[in-house]
Structure 1
Amino acid sequence: MEVAMVVSARASLLILVISLCSPYKFIQSPMDLGPLNLLPTTSTAAASSDFGRILFRAPAAVLRPQSPRDISMLLSFLSGSPSLSRVTVAARGAGHSIHGQAQAPDGIVVETRSLPGEMEFHHVRGGGEGRASYADVGGGVLWIELLERSLKLGLAPRSWTDYLYLTVGGTLSNAGISGQTFKHGPQISNVLQLEVVTGRGEIVECSPSKEADLFNAVLGGLGQFGIITRARILLQEAPEKVTWVRAFYDDLGAFTRDQELLVSIPDSVDYVEGFMVLNERSLHSSSIAFPASVDFSPDFGTRSSPRIYYCVEFAVHHHHGYQKQSQAAVEAISRRMSHMASQLYSVEVSYLDFLNRVRMEEVSLRSAGMWEEVHHPWLNMFVPKPGVAGFRDLLMDNVSPDSFQGLILIYPLLRDKWDTNTSVVIPDSGPTADDPVMYVVGILRSANPGPEEDGDGCSHRCLHELLRSHRRIADAAEARLGAKQYLPHHPTPARWQQHLGRRWERFADRKARFDPLRILGPGQGIFPRTAQDAAAAAAYGS
């Protein structure tokens, strides 16, 4: 029976690949493609778009794997048929990419959410060297699912993203950052082992000591080398409560100095972020999740002479029996800060509510039709510390503070928490080689696709002007300040080589080893398979 199913699956793949490679599209309606659960074009609407709502590119089929072996079978067949197949494959988790990175135009999208969601927890108390608590989870598991399960055991992962409704495999393919990154490093620095299906179709278990090159390649590898089907995530004891603090500033220098003070005392502080306050709308939207009254009514100036404000956000964890010490730590830290007089606010919340804070903002935006229905032309940059003020000025030259919709995050990270063996690109340290700090700046804007006449609408022309504006900001920041994009998007392979810089040769070598036919991750546009692909990418980026 098992042999018959395998034969059926291989036959289905052959039919599918011939159909995809033919100038005639034979797949026009649902058909039984065997145990691989391949869904043809009529079932691919969700995989044709993503959270950015900028690119809409339909795959020819969607694979909903029931096991890593299903993915292996697909990639083994494609990698073993170079003369027949031009088909590409992209892994899609929660679909939260911005520029179609998880799309596979006329190819196959692998929906990792259909992988088994089992979680196995291993809790080692005390702990000598090399001993740790960890969870083995599927690559399609959401971080919120892992959090809810682990909290029942009094445990939790150490490093997070701000938004928890993302898959484990998806964030590990990028880096995974939030306010804990200064203390514990990005999520890719908190994974002990991976199971990966390479572009060759091989199922490989890898770690820092076993198949280490594949392990490092896949972490932050943008889906170019393999699909993460399982991960071993490092855990720690979960706090019961969190004191969540916000302080406001009218000076960038004071704002960044206080942030750098906070990240310099990781034994006392557990989370540090910050954001810019450009107008009343941004002040209100950033306060939705903060469960305390904020009596801050700043003067934003005029359109010709705007006034910009900043908010530092930090948190201290409360473990059982240490609440008074945590409260005393918050008071001591606050006395060392240089925020605006009387503009410091704090509130105590549960650990779950704190980590899941963006969910409340999501619910509010969904109710207003401002979540899935709008464009999200986001731009995220890693900026060397000396370039922060210059980046702020560059940003203000390209946005209108009075009409900006969205959030601009800005907070420090520490270089020594990043493993340079992984595929993630961070800026060089610049003139101060021993400076441990760099910043992440996230321009998380929204653009309502409605008519511009109603005041809040953003037409097709408007959206492309926003994208061109972000391209100008990114290009100038890279050229003048040595910044690098996080969650990068580049219009041509040549620009990708420029982005990777001295890391390009290693990146390309890993691609040749683990995905030699360039099957994986077509939506990134790093390794186009044909001249037509490259021309299309260049046209989009112009």
Structure 2
Amino acid sequence: MEINLLYSGVNALILLLILSSPYKIIQKPIDFGSLNLLPTTDMASTDFGRLQFNPPASVLKPKTPEDISLLLSFLSSSSFSQVSVSACGAGHSIHGQAQALDGIVIDMGSLPLEIKVHKNGEMESGLSYVDASGGALWIEVLKETMKVGLAPRSWTDYLYLTIGGTLSNGGISGQTFKHGPQIANVLELDVVTGKGEMVTCSPTKSSELFYAALGGLGQFGIITRARVPLQQAPKKVRWQRAFYDDFETFTKDQELLISIPELVDYVEGFVVLNEQSLHSSLVAFPAHLEFKPEFVRNGRFKVYYCIEFAIHVNQVESIHVEKVIKEISRMLSYMQSHLYSVEVSYLDFLNRVSMEEESLRSKGLWEVPHPWLNMFVPRSGIKKFMNFLMESLSPNEFEGPILVYPLLSDKREQMTDTTKAGAVMMMMSKIYRIYTQEESG
């Protein structure tokens, strides 16, 4: 007890000196008690957007959630309660959201990796789920759960993100219309509050904190563990792409697809703005396309659109998959002869963006400034918004994906919902690359 108190006193004294130092620099790693404060790092000072650079005074490398609790408890009970503290997972936030200028960044990746799968035969509830530490990556969770033929229901497009990171935001992808966002697929959380309290919460236990932490951008606590429900993982996925030359037809068919969740498991879509956007979208899609759009017609730019949807093969017997595809294709109004299909493994489908990442890294285009904007647009305003967006862009200069796909607001948990229940809303995501002066000539 006396030793613990001594360590606590030393921790407080050194932390006080660090935060009150006018230089905001730690020359060497400091290991005192259970806390491990290090000098600032590039990862803690920047983020995926590469637009903001805000170095913290120090970086905490927690060995356990108790380390986070100790830090926040000290700060909240001292004159340093206004010190900025930010949790950083894999560093994929944008515009400085996970940075803490002159404060402390908590490196969540330093926590021990813990992923434990519970199958329904082992549980009284009959529900399979996985307990994963907040710093675990979704790709790690996927690979571990697939060892027993299971997987979470809702995903993000990119899997090298942390559990705590996406659950602090929302977590959406093409499965959201069917299962809701990731924050609507959580059974239980371990959260460290701003006062350093360690709380286990769920829809029936400390529910206010549970719903506040989910999608709360870290403002109500830091997620250190999540319990996520699992479903049977399919062996294969039939991945379809259909091309359109009319925006209203494109969105109408998307809405048709999300109205038949008993047949379709994933729906997204993107704008084909130029040759570059067409070619980059084909990096992960292992099928030959005969689609050769005319991007300039009568002296004006022509924009195209692509719907991609997927069907889990294990939910429909393999011999009936072709029948289902034909049935769906007859409902759609895509450009004649421009529906393409390929069958891939479930892992390869979910991890498709990593192939695009490898391609961009090989060209030196991954770690560059690239603004990224995600927006929820009401269905009633999507055409007007799209017209405004197209008028604002130069198709021959723009480089980056523009995603457009529908979500159902009633698939979100009531406590985290800010949209009208039952309404269709469109997800608009735009990311583009900023050229340096040397690159632009």
Q: TM-score, normalised by structure 2?
A: 0.96
Which residue in the other structure is 1:448 paired with? 435
- Residue among 273, 277, 299 paired with 2:272: 277
- Residue among 123, 129, 143 paired with 2:138: 143
Which residue in the other structure is 1:97 paired with? 93
- Report deviation, 1:331: 1.7
Which residue in the other structure is 2:77 paired with? 80
Which residue in the other structure is 2:37 paired with? 39
1:457-516 Cα distance to aligned partner (Å, 9 max, x none): xxxxxxxxxxxxxxxxxxxxxxxxxxxxxxxxxxxxxxxxxxxxxxxxxxxxxxxxxxxx
Q: TM-score, normalised by structure 1?
A: 0.78
8 Å Cα contact 2:24-2:57 kept in structure 1: no
Aligned length: 441
Could you tell me which runs of 5 or more consecutive residues in structure 1 were left unpaired when the two chains were aligned: 455-542
- Quick one: structure 1 residues 28 and 436, their matched pair in 2 at CA, closer, same or farther if it must change by over 3 Å? closer
1:273 and 1:182 mapped to 2: Cα distance? Answer: 10
Which residue in the other structure is 1:312 paired with? 307
1:335-366 Cα distance to aligned partner (Å, 9 max, x none): 11100000000000000000000000000000
1:290 and 1:26 mapped to 2: Cα distance? Answer: 48
Which residue in the other structure is 1:17 paired with? 16
- Quick one: structure 1 residues 40 and 304, their matched pair in 2 at CA, closer, same or farther if it must change by over 3 Å? farther
1:213 and 1:383 mapped to 2: Cα distance? Answer: 28
Matched letter for residue 177 of structure 1? I
8 Å Cα contact 1:216-1:421 kept in structure 2: yes
1:397 and 1:321 mapped to 2: Cα distance? Answer: 43
- Report deviation, 1:398: 1.5
- Report deviation, 1:18: 3.1
Which residue in the other structure is 1:437 paired with? 424
1:62 and 1:302 mapped to 2: Cα distance? Answer: 55
Which residue in the other structure is 1:241 paired with? 236
- Residue among 388, 397, 415 paired with 2:391: 397
Matched letter for residue 174 of structure 2? G
- Quick one: structure 1 residues 382 and 3, their matched pair in 2 at CA, closer, same or farther if it must change by over 3 Å? farther
Which residue in the other structure is 1:155 paired with? 150
1:309 and 1:328 mapped to 2: Cα distance? Answer: 28
Secondary structure in structure 1 of the residue aligned to 2:93: coil
8 Å Cα contact 1:370-1:448 kept in structure 2: no
- Report deviation, 1:327: 2.9
8 Å Cα contact 2:270-2:306 kept in structure 1: yes
2:247 and 2:336 mapped to 1: Cα distance? Answer: 16
Identity over aligned pairs, percent: 56
1:268 and 1:64 mapped to 2: Cα distance? Answer: 46
1:293-314 Cα distance to aligned partner (Å, 9 max, x none): 1111101116962111000000
Secondary structure in structure 2 of the residue aligned to 1:199: coil
2:258 and 2:121 mapped to 1: Cα distance? Answer: 28
1:218-267 Cα distance to aligned partner (Å, 9 max, x none): 00001101000000011000000000000000001110111001000000
- Residue among 13, 27, 30 paired with 2:28: 30
- The alignment's C-alpha RMSD in Å is 2.0
- Report deviation, 1:325: 2.3
Could you tell me which runs of 5 or more consecutive residues in structure 2 were left unpaired when the two chains were aligned: none
Matched letter for residue 350 of structure 2? L
- Residue among 109, 127, 145 paired with 1:113: 109
Matched letter for residue 116 of structure 1? P
8 Å Cα contact 2:50-2:369 kept in structure 1: yes
- Report deviation, 1:3: 5.2
8 Å Cα contact 1:124-1:132 kept in structure 2: yes
8 Å Cα contact 1:193-1:232 kept in structure 2: yes
- Residue among 59, 63, 86 paired with 2:60: 63
Larger strand percent: 2
- Quick one: structure 1 residues 84 and 219, their matched pair in 2 at CA, closer, same or farther if it must change by over 3 Å? closer
8 Å Cα contact 1:12-1:33 kept in structure 2: no
8 Å Cα contact 1:183-1:263 kept in structure 2: yes
2:73 and 2:137 mapped to 1: Cα distance? Answer: 27
- Residue among 327, 352, 368 paired with 2:363: 368
8 Å Cα contact 1:9-1:33 kept in structure 2: no
Which residue in the other structure is 2:410 paired with? 416
- Quick one: structure 1 residues 169 and 279, their matched pair in 2 at CA, closer, same or farther if it must change by over 3 Å? same
8 Å Cα contact 2:26-2:58 kept in structure 1: no
